[in-house]
A and B are shown apart, each in its own frame.
Chain A
């Protein structure tokens, strides 16, 4: 099976992009399609994750689903791809179904494992907000898979990919972005491998310093529970849970969050969960790997101190 992987290559090539390329190369010979002005050397380095060729569209600077669908579909036709892989991030969620509809391809959303091709083409995905998995069989000849971040580790093959410019008629964007409001410089939450999160137990926005201190020590992103975003202690894009962002970091540290089912729906894909709560009956402890029954105001600074000592010993 021939594979096309769509990735973004703005700035540093993300871990999620390298995961998607690794995933594709395990299915078949893999071509990458991307856009923008990344230099040829950095694009060629995607070969290290198993791609043989990188197609780059230079006449598009900002990604949007309508133009990217035209680009990905044209590239898929160009390289005769049977399987198209997209990362299940905000842009991917808007693009992948659109590509699938355009190609009349079966689409698996939120894949967490490689397809099982022993008997057909079956892909495991997250359903019921992370409470169960579904095995989805794709019967169409063309297939689109959106891959959840942190489902596979990027692998290094030592290879280098051939880079080729690829241009096609992209039509119009359809939407215009009038204004970008960026907030802060920290680690972006959806891509973060380590996340420090806190809830109402912190009593007020002025107490978030200790959450940020621990996040800084770890190089982690900060997150929060829904009530905290709703009352405006923290920005909405930090809200993880059913109605906020769903994340799958390696480590999720939750301080002063009771662990309502809606919150768990956003974090139950985390590899390791640490819960800090004064209430030993907090439901979050049932979903935790490590629990500390104690006051976040005392535990967080102590944990930060222990982390700093650990980090120093690592250098």
Chain B
């Protein structure tokens, strides 16, 4: 089984979010980057479990600069076979998907796994775009994945319930919570990651279709209004007359 896992870096979930350069750039000062949790905990770890059980390889792919290498090494330390970095700034989702699609077309993977979204841009776009560019089925927000021969069975929550899906390889999926459990790399993995291949390849030319021109922060919340536990009628009145939500 030949698997490709899309890996992106993201600021640690507890990072303070602020912007610089007239609110046009994310302020990286003091920010610790991690492997985007959905890419790591769910997509990568499940890919490793499958190849450990059935044989095969797990390649990671990242569109980014040398600044991404530490997070790519982390993915190798967790157990990926090798890694590819498309050497370019991740300009916009279409650009990123195009780079990965070009690489995937030349290398015939059975399954391409992405996280359900990154925790910084929350776009949830790459998997779906990739599937279209490769003309493959796409299973979004998958929470379970089993593979038998060239058939995969997946489960996901849908509003009000869950569904079981069957799909033939090759296909693309985005992984959500439930897929696998986080793995902490051990010393052997970290040592091995140093000598694993991290192949840097050039980007293909692609138009930039969107760009972020500025950021802003939500208006500060007004102070919380405390209501006595015995005055629920007052709360109901406030929700009706002040907040106007009931």
A177 touches B165 (CB 8 A): yes
| Interface SS of A by simple majority | mixed
Interface size on B, residues (CB 8 A): 79
Contacting B at CB under 8 A, from A22-65, are: 65
Q: A176-B167, A288-B224 are in contact. Are A133 and B162 (CB under 8 A)?
A: no
Q: Give the docked Cα–Cα distance between A20 and B224 (Å).
A: 32
The answer to whether B191 has its CB under 8 Å from any CB of chain A is: no
Other-chain residue from B128, B143, B212 in contact with A101 (beta carbon distance below 8 A): B128
Quick one: CB contact mask for B10-38 with A, threshold 8 Å, 1 for yes?
00011001010000000000000000011
Other-chain residue from A124, A128, A243, A251 in contact with B239 (beta carbon distance below 8 A): A251
Q: Give the docked Cα–Cα distance between A191 and B215 (Å).
A: 27
Other-chain residue from B130, B159, B221, B246 in contact with A237 (beta carbon distance below 8 A): B159
A261 touches B138 (CB 8 A): no
Give every chain B residue within 8 A of A268 (Cβ-Cβ): 218
Q: A97-B125, A140-B207 are in contact. Are A191 and B17 (CB under 8 A)?
A: no
B17 touches A306 (CB 8 A): no
Quick one: CB contact mask for B178-195 with A, threshold 8 Å, 1 for yes?
100000000000000000
- B131's nearest neighbour on chain A, judged by CB, is A98
The answer to whether A202 has its CB under 8 Å from any CB of chain B is: no
The answer to whether A69 has its CB under 8 Å from any CB of chain B is: yes
A135 touches B167 (CB 8 A): no
The answer to whether B132 has its CB under 8 Å from any CB of chain A is: yes
Other-chain residue from B17, B140, B224, B225 in contact with A286 (beta carbon distance below 8 A): B224
Q: Give the docked Cα–Cα distance between A30 and B127 (Å).
A: 29
Quick one: CB contact mask for A274-315 with B, threshold 8 Å, 1 for yes?
110000000001111111111100110011011101100000
The answer to whether A9 has its CB under 8 Å from any CB of chain B is: no
The answer to whether A134 has its CB under 8 Å from any CB of chain B is: yes
The answer to whether A151 has its CB under 8 Å from any CB of chain B is: no
The answer to whether B104 has its CB under 8 Å from any CB of chain A is: no
B236 touches A194 (CB 8 A): no
- The stretch of B54-62, B75-83, B90-98, B197-205 in contact with A is B90-98
Give every chain B residue within 8 A of A135 (Cβ-Cβ): 212-216
How far in angstroms is the closest Cβ of chain B from A29?
24
Interface size on A, residues (CB 8 A): 93
The answer to whether A12 has its CB under 8 Å from any CB of chain B is: no
- The stretch of B1-9, B43-51, B115-123 in contact with A is B115-123
Other-chain residue from B177, B209, B216 in contact with A133 (beta carbon distance below 8 A): B216
Q: Give the docked Cα–Cα distance between A310 and B232 (Å).
A: 11
A271 touches B243 (CB 8 A): yes
B246 touches A251 (CB 8 A): yes
Give every chain B residue within 8 A of A109 (Cβ-Cβ): 93, 122-125
Quick one: CB contact mask for A167-180 with B, threshold 8 Å, 1 for yes?
00000011111111
The answer to whether A228 has its CB under 8 Å from any CB of chain B is: no
Q: Give the docked Cα–Cα distance between A241 and B153 (Å).
A: 26
How far in angstroms is the closest Cβ of chain A from B23?
9
Q: A126-B122, A132-B19 are in contact. Are A90 and B141 (CB under 8 A)?
A: yes
A102 touches B132 (CB 8 A): yes
The answer to whether A66 has its CB under 8 Å from any CB of chain B is: yes
The answer to whether A218 has its CB under 8 Å from any CB of chain B is: yes
Give every chain B residue within 8 A of A176 (Cβ-Cβ): 165-167
Give every chain B residue within 8 A of A189 (Cβ-Cβ): 159-160
The answer to whether A158 has its CB under 8 Å from any CB of chain B is: no
Q: A289-B243, A306-B235 are in contact. Are A179 and B158 (CB under 8 A)?
A: no
Give every chain B residue within 8 A of A101 (Cβ-Cβ): 94, 97, 128-130, 132-133
20 contacts between A and B (CB under 8 A): A65-B140, A90-B141, A94-B138, A97-B124, A97-B129, A101-B130, A127-B120, A135-B214, A139-B211, A140-B207, A175-B166, A175-B171, A179-B163, A180-B162, A183-B160, A194-B246, A237-B161, A275-B224, A285-B224, A291-B227
The 10 A-B residue pairs whose C-beta atoms are closest, nearest first, are A174-B137, A294-B229, A106-B209, A97-B128, A306-B232, A182-B161, A101-B132, A97-B125, A101-B129, A179-B164
Q: With A89-B159, A128-B119 given, can you name 19 additional A-B contacts, CB distance below 8 Å? A: A66-B131, A97-B127, A104-B209, A107-B210, A133-B217, A135-B213, A136-B213, A137-B210, A137-B213, A175-B165, A176-B166, A176-B167, A183-B161, A188-B160, A191-B159, A286-B224, A289-B225, A291-B225, A303-B236
Interface residues of chain A, those whose CB is within 8 Å of chain B, are: 65-66, 69, 89-90, 93-102, 104-110, 122, 124, 126-140, 173-184, 186, 188-191, 193-194, 218, 236-237, 242-244, 250-251, 261-262, 268, 271-272, 274-275, 285-295, 298-299, 302-303, 305-307, 309-310
